[in-house]
Structure 1
Amino acid sequence: MVAPDERGIPRREFVKSAVAIGGASALSACLSRESVDVPRGPTDLSSLPQRQHAWNDVLETDEHGNPIVPRHRVLLLLNYRGDGAPTDADRQTMAEALQSLEHAYPRDNEGLLFTVSYSPAYFERFEESLPDSVDLPMPEALASFEDPELDTPDAVVHLASDYGKVVLAAEEALKGEKETLNGVDVAASLDGVFDFVDRRTGFIGDGLPAKHDDVAGVPEGEVPEDATLYMGFESGFLKNQASEDRVSIPKGPFADGTTQHVSNITLNLNQWYQQDDRYQRVSKMFCPYHAKNDIVEGTGENLHTSQMELCKPDEQAAREDAVVGHSQKMVDVREGDQAIILRRDFDSTDGDHAGLHFVSLQRGIGDFVTTREAMNGTDLAENSAVGQRNNNGILQYMNVERRGNYLVPPRRLRELPPANPETEGTNA
């Protein structure tokens, strides 16, 4: 139980709200509530991994070995201010700004984890094309029933920490609003190199969704008190997540990078909680077998994996049960009994509506498209009593508002990379 502060607001609830608001005043409030001292980061950065997305080795794990991801998140969408190809001076400024974050905080969940990624629109400024080893198309709608806006900022910075004061302070430093960060001088900021065009925030972790059910799209008092996500079930099971090796680009100038898809999804969970019973929710999230046999306890904290090997094939379930589960459909796109995308998504109250920022990493965007097509279950809907959205996993409770595709380059190329470093060169 989190102790309330002097005004009766639990600390975690307050910090989540402060992260959503952002700015210097929110940071000041967080500093007064989060009394923990965060150590400084290393002075020598040479040992940091080339993979920006290599977070798992520094994350804590649950009793089943599943990584526990950082609780507080900020996505910053940026546009490069320069015309044409970036200058070496801007690359150097960006390098100093990002290295200031790394000197200020340890690279773990109690410090700061972050990635910088770039859109296909960013790479259009170069004469050279991306190498064939990078699968990075422009974003598009991925189902007949969705009509998302397509995001094309030049870059996205993803900030993550267990402490709201860390992500807020890092954001303020990147914007040029802080001269020191955790006692470390900030050498440079991104202000002047980029325009900050959008800001998205959220959270993931035991109890946070239930504490923030006073927004549209989710009925108050229905989300389980210990749920990590609004839909009430655990999701980061080992077989449901690709390894960081699987999602890393294996060759070419961007080897050790990855691709990233970011969707902004609104959740509409009144039926999920107030009309569907637990049997139906378990059937739609996992599979009918799990519901019939009480496989899932509580939010699923008893599960080491999602145990999809117990479920019928999805086509058989669609015919015989008229329901096919979300996880059940994902089995068809596994390789070697593992998923092909690595999710780092989180819930949100942006716009005062329950939502999900779906962040996925994969070797190429094609892997995400394949996974999404399996989630759509179009063939199942056409050949059974399962509708295109009703009783077809969790589709009917989600609406995709925005989509964007990005390349997360290796750390050596994270500052305004050229489209093809082998031919254009870089000082990064």
Structure 2
Amino acid sequence: MTAPAPRSRSFADGAEDHERLPPVRFAFDGHTWKEIAHLLLNLPMSLLGFVYVVTTVWVSGVLTLTVIGIPLLAATLLGARQLGKLERARARALLGVRVEEPTPLPWAGRGAGTQRLWMTLKDPVAWRTLLYDFIRLPWGVLTFCTTLVSLFVLWPVLPFVARGLANVDRAMVRGLLSPSDELERRIAELESDRGVVVDTAAADLRRIERDLHDGAQARLVNLAMGLGLAKEKLLEDPDGAAAMVEEAHGEVKLALQELRDLARGIHPAVLTDRGLDAALSSVATRCTVPVQVTADLPSRPAPAIEGIAYFTVSELLQNISKHSGARTASVDVWRADDRLLIQVRDDGHGGASLDGGSGMRGLAERLGAVDGLFVVDSPAGGPTTVTAELPWRDRA
């Protein structure tokens, strides 16, 4: 299963972090001087951000009546992301605020286009950064002036003042410059899942092409050549021609069987006609160990879910045949609320894992691409239990 993206820090974490902050310091140590430096830098940084936001957004708004207005706004949002990156780096260096960087936009590195423009315009990280830079100018003036006056007039209480103002800055950075945990994680997951789906589809197409080229296509070519030779011998050597036709008839049967096997690998007819129970019973008969199939499904799920469930069980049973050394196996399929659950067990020697070479990781990635789950429990010595979970969707 695809590993989840790292969790980032949010404004909701601020209270917990604040409890871990050291108490107000009376000495002018390194932490205090870093906070003072940050507060003095607030004015030039907030002025830079304010000018950037007002200028670029105003120009983009005016030019929305032309073809360059929307692309310019998108460029403004991309620039805001860079300003946010700079501010997070400043907060880490001077305030000790550990804020994770947001994930790249899903279209990064995939070329320009309407989708890229639209994803940029919807980017919540960039919009929050624009808001941060817009509201920071009054705060930057206040913190700069207060810190400067305290340096020359209120020296004894400067550590208190610096710590209080810096804590407000910490809260603002966490609240507006932190990536939104759930949204950012979901974007990363969807981008990863889309890549899995594309790679899987490409691999399946290559497999079908290879099977056709090496199997049925080669047999049909040989069949055509054999029938051509038989036609030439039909008059001068009827017995030889008859033998060649008989051989060609055998080739036709083998080609038909290979095409049936290939079609079954794409989408078996029994799954379409009779459902998951019958299809799993059919695939179980091809396993080299006895398999007991139990399906408790009140109705049939959507064809896409049925297909994923079928091919998941089919590959797991192939793994049992090839790698497990098992004597018996079982397949259980049932519905629990809005989920379709599958458990495949065998009494083999165990040791299966997602890092092994038996295709487990590929199954986990395929199920993860449709919001499914894939769990392997296979201690050394066995038994092995693989649990797969898919979202249930009713047939249209």
Asked if TM exceeds 0.5, the reply is: no
Instruction: Give the number of the structure with larger relative contact order, counting CA–CA contacts within 8 Å between residues 6 or more apart.
Output: 1
| Bigger proportion of residues as strand | 1
Taking structure 1 as the reference length, what is the TM-score of the superposition?
0.23
Larger Rg: 2
